[in-house]
Amino acid sequence: MQTAKNTRVVSAFLIIGAAIFALVFSGCNSAKSVSTDQNNSNAVAAKSPPSGVSQPIEMTDALQRLKEGNARFVTGKSIHPDLETLRRSNLKTGQKPFAVILGCSDSRVPPELVFDQGLGDVFVARVAGNIFDDAVDGSVEYAVEHLGAELIVVMGHESCGAVTAAIENNREAHIKFLAEAIKPAIVEAMKLPGDKIDNAVRANVEYVVAQIRRNEPILSKKIAENKLRVVGAYYDLDSGEVTFIP
């Protein structure tokens, strides 16, 4: 009986030892697997191009990219691209925005959100009434000549206060300078049927597009060489949709 008892004790120890060995072996394999997966991930990351400065984009592709971004914004499916830490870090060495957006300063119409773009994607110049003066001209020329942008979008919007000021001939302080800049654009629009402000906003966009197209020496030359495209756009406050003006 003593021998049988000893045998049972030995067997129990063997079973416990085997269980411990199995647990240890399993843990080692798991750690090895995690380490291998991590190494593989690092290898993939090393091979993948960094999310940094925007790559050159054809003019038509640039416009399509803006249209697709706005479609996401309108449907509430914005992806908010190019906002990660690596993107910020890589942009320290330079920028290459694929488009210039000349828009109004209105707080309801931020171009980066409206077109669902991120850091380094679009070069934005904003001034009430999206007017084109010397300061704006210099900003746009810099983006085209030195940063390589090949698309300029002039974007007006519904119920623009600056355009309304021009229609009402507002002479208050420095607001009068905005009104004066917009007035030439809306003379003919005032004769059209329909909503006067809406007609004037669209007319102002077309006026600014024309100003840019004939602007010398940089912009008009780029356009003549088919290296730059200028389009107008209208933003609807209700829907969030951007309509590009023919």
- CA 106 – CA 17 distance, rounded (Å): 74
Q: 153 - beta bridge partners?
A: 101, 231
Residue pLDDT, tens place only, 104-126: 999 999 999 999 999 999 999 99
Length of the chain: 246
Average pLDDT over residues 181-190: 95
% of residues, the chain, pLDDT over 90: 75
Q: Which residue has the tokens 């003006």?
A: 245
Secondary structure (DSSP) of 226-242: TS-EEEEEEE-TTT--E
Q: What's this model's pTM, rounded to 2 decimal places?
A: 0.77
Quote the mean pLDDT of the chain.
84
Cβ–Cβ < 8 Å for 126, 91 = no
Q: What is the mean pLDDT of residues 188-192?
A: 93
Amino acid 144: pLDDT: 98
Q: 26 versus 92: which is more confidently predicted?
A: 92
Q: Token pair 């356009």 is at which residue?
A: 223
Strand order, beta sheet including 99-103: 122-126, 99-103, 151-157, 229-235, 242-245
Question: Model confidence at 231, in pLDDT bands (50, 70, 90)?
Answer: very high
Report pLDDT for 18: 44
Cα separation, 109 vs 126, in Å, equals: 10
| pLDDT of 246 | 78
Per-residue confidence (pLDDT) for residue 4, from 0 to 100 = 44
Helix 175-186 vs helix 196-213: angle between axes, to the nearest 10 degrees?
Answer: 90
* pLDDT tens figures, 20-47: 444 333 444 444 443 444 444 343 333 3
Running DSSP on this structure, what letter comes out for residue 188? Answer: T
- 191-217 core/surface letters (b: 16 or more CB in 10 A; e: else): eeeeebbbbbbbbbbbbbbebbeebee
Look at residue 34 in the predicted model and tell me its pLDDT. 37
How confident is the model over 42-75, as pLDDT tens digits? 433 333 334 445 455 667 799 999 999 999 999 9
φ, ψ of residue 167 to 5 degrees: the values are -65, -40
